Amino acid sequence: MKLKLWQIDAFAQKPFEGNPAAIVPLEEWLDDARMQKIANENNLAETAFFVRKEDGRHDLRWFTPAVEVPLCGHATLASGWLIFSELAPDLQSIAFDTKSGTLEVKRGPDGRHQIALPSDTLKPYGDADYAARIAAALKTRAPKEVYVGRNVFAVFENARDVRAIPGPGTIESLIEPGFGLIATAPGDDGFDFVSRYFAPHHGIPEDPVTGSAHAALTPFWSKRLDKKQLKARQVSPRGGNLDCIDDDGRTLLSGACSLYLKGEITV
């Protein structure tokens, strides 16, 4: 069986920035084991598979190299970009039916399309000892605050602290299976906030640019900074910029995409 595959850098102005996603359009679903093997072979943070249902509506699923995940922002943006750019260029919006509900992608100016994600709700988590254990695991300073939603959410004093984290370290031992760790701080260089995302349980030591994490980051910093529209920078080694809007229970994210590869796989 031969399938078409696109590799697209999301939240990127040009190749080698942002977060790469592999996109595989299907006529009908493959079995889960085969999709997982394709994602493992691609060895990117996510491989997205979608099946067209009708004009402007698709079913969409995402796989890391290790597991299927319930929500992924950058591969949703990349899937929308592919449909707008090559598969259905007359469309202005796309609805993706997913395990996290229906996600909409709207065509934007200059290829900066917008996705809508369900916002995450945070609550305080752990204590001073847990914050110290995070610091030891990451080999960095202790976060000032720790919360939990769909991930553990650690707030550091400044952007330098987040940039200085050398990697995921031994954080896997401190977070439950299925969770990742968001590290964030007030922004610099014109950004409202910065972040990084570590997901060793998902087979992703560090994700370059994480749309789903911004579904927690955006409402948190919107409330903290008392503003609805924010500019974000994920300060991973690749890095990426996101325009974020807190929209009363939804998080709206906009960013550019860049095509890296178009080809065919044999499975």
Q: Are 232 and 225 in contact (CB under 8 A)?
A: no
Amino acid 85: pLDDT: 95
Chain region(s) in the chain for CATH 3.10.310.10: 2-116+254-266, 123-248
- Mean pLDDT per 10-residue run, the chain (267 residues)? 97 92 98 98 96 97 95 95 96 96 92 93 93 96 96 97 96 92 96 97 92 97 98 95 95 96 97
**CATH architecture assignment, domain 123-248:** Roll (3.10)
How many CA atoms, within 13 angstroms, populate the side-chain half-sphere of residue 22?
Answer: 23
Residue tagged active-site, from 27, 46, 54, 206? 46
Amino acid 110: pLDDT: 80
Give yes or no: 172 in active site.
no
Closest CA to 159 of 229, 239, 219: 239
| CATH of 2-116+254-266 given 3.30.110.30, 3.20.20.140, 3.30.1330.50, 3.10.310.10 | 3.10.310.10
Q: Give dist(CA 145, CA 252) in Å, integer.
A: 25
Phi, psi values for residue 198, rounded to 5°: -120, 130
Residues 6+ apart with CB under 8 A from 146: 124, 125, 126, 130, 131, 134, 152, 153, 154, 155
Amino acid 261: pLDDT: 97
Let me know if 129 is exposed, middle or buried by CB neighbors in 10 A (0-12, 13-18, 19+): exposed
